[in-house]
Amino acid sequence: MKPFSQLSRNEIIDLTNEELNDSIRLEAIERSIKPPITLSEALCRSEWRGYTKPAEAIKVWTLKVGYHSSNFGFLDEQIAAKAIEGMICIEENSYSHPKIKITSDIPQIVLKYVGVEAGSQKASKFEEYTQDDTEFVKVRDECLEKYSDVRQQAYNAKVRSERKAEYLRLAGGNEEVAKNFWSKTEGTSWPTNEEILTQS
């Protein structure tokens, strides 16, 4: 692939979309202008890196019965286990006639962590890549304008050629009659093949 300015008229007409993009980028590089780059997925999804300081906490063993947890606990698991030996649960109903009864719930020891100092983290971060594409955009627009002009000229030439062929067909192959048709409808003289290609 060549820079856009080095392409011939026919090469410009035959460009695929990908080739057009590449030729514009090469044109920018030829003029010492940095083209925009597409970052790889791996680079776009760079992982978080950083230092994490764990939270400081102490272990506390508390008692729990059903959905209810107690507001007291033990700093030693063995003492907590010893404390619930033989423990039973009672339920008190204070509606109308107060009643206290033994329930079948079994007390459990639950481990909880009580925070002493909160954890913290510090991320290693970088500025995302950005680029001023102002100069590249000028090159791109200039190339696309020329590209459009060349394609429009080629399209116009094809239309004139097909129109000329249609007048010849309608004239039954008689070029003099076809020239008369052209003169009446187009208002110009019958074009030569070379004129068809060069007229815009």
pLDDT for res 149: 93
Q: Does 102 lie in the same domain as 66?
A: yes
**SS3 call for 20:** helix
Q: Does 137 lie in the same domain as 188?
A: yes
Nearest of 131, 135, 151, 142 to residue 23 by alpha carbon: 142
Number of domains in the chain: 2
- Per the model's pLDDT, the better-predicted residue between 33 and 120 turns out to be 33
Q: pLDDT grade, residue 143 (50/70/90)?
A: very high
pLDDT at residue 78 tops 70: yes
Q: Does 64 lie in the same domain as 92?
A: yes
Q: Does 141 lie in the same domain as 101?
A: no
User: 63: which 2 tokens?
Assistant: 């008692």
Residue 42 domain flag: no
Looking at beta carbons, which pairs linking 9-12 to residues 24 or more positions away fall under 8 Å? Answer: 9/150, 9/154, 12/146, 12/147, 12/150, 12/151
Do residues 85 and 102 touch, judged by C-beta distance below 8 A?
no
Residue 149 domain flag: yes
Any bridge partners for residue 95, and if so which?
none
State the DSSP string of 32-48: T-PPP-PPPHHHHTPPP
Q: Does 158 lie in the same domain as 108?
A: no
pLDDT for res 91: 81
Residue 125 domain flag: no
Residue 20 domain flag: yes
At which of 118, 145, 169 does a domain end?
118
At which of 70, 86, 118 does a domain end?
118
User: 166: which 2 tokens?
Assistant: 């249609």
In a 13 Å sphere around the CA of 160, the CA atoms on its Cβ side amount to 20
Any bridge partners for residue 121, and if so which?
52
Q: Does 193 lie in the same domain as 146?
A: yes
pTM score above 0.75: no
Mean pLDDT within 174-194: 86
Residue 163 domain flag: yes
Angle at 184 between CA 183 and CA 189, to 5 degrees: 10
- Per the model's pLDDT, the better-predicted residue between 24 and 193 turns out to be 24
pLDDT at residue 148 tops 60: yes
- Per the model's pLDDT, the better-predicted residue between 39 and 110 turns out to be 110
- pLDDT tens track for 13-53: 999 999 999 999 999 999 999 998 888 877 777 777 888 87
Q: Does 68 lie in the same domain as 28?
A: no
Instruction: Determine how β-strand 120-124 pairs with β-strand 56-65.
Output: unpaired
Residue 124 domain flag: no
Q: Does 26 lie in the same domain as 67?
A: no
Q: The domain containing residue 110 runs over which residues?
A: 55-118
pLDDT above 90 covers a percentage of the chain that reads 34
User: 43: which 2 tokens?
Assistant: 């680079």
pLDDT at residue 198 tops 70: no
| Cα Rg of the chain, angstroms | 43
Average pLDDT value over all residues in the chain: 86
Any bridge partners for residue 114, and if so which?
58
Which amino acid, residue 7? L
How far apart (Å, rounded) are the C-alpha atoms in residues 4 and 161?
Answer: 28
Q: Does 101 lie in the same domain as 63?
A: yes
Burial class (CB in 10 A: 0-12, 13-18, 19+), 156: middle
Q: Does 61 lie in the same domain as 32?
A: no
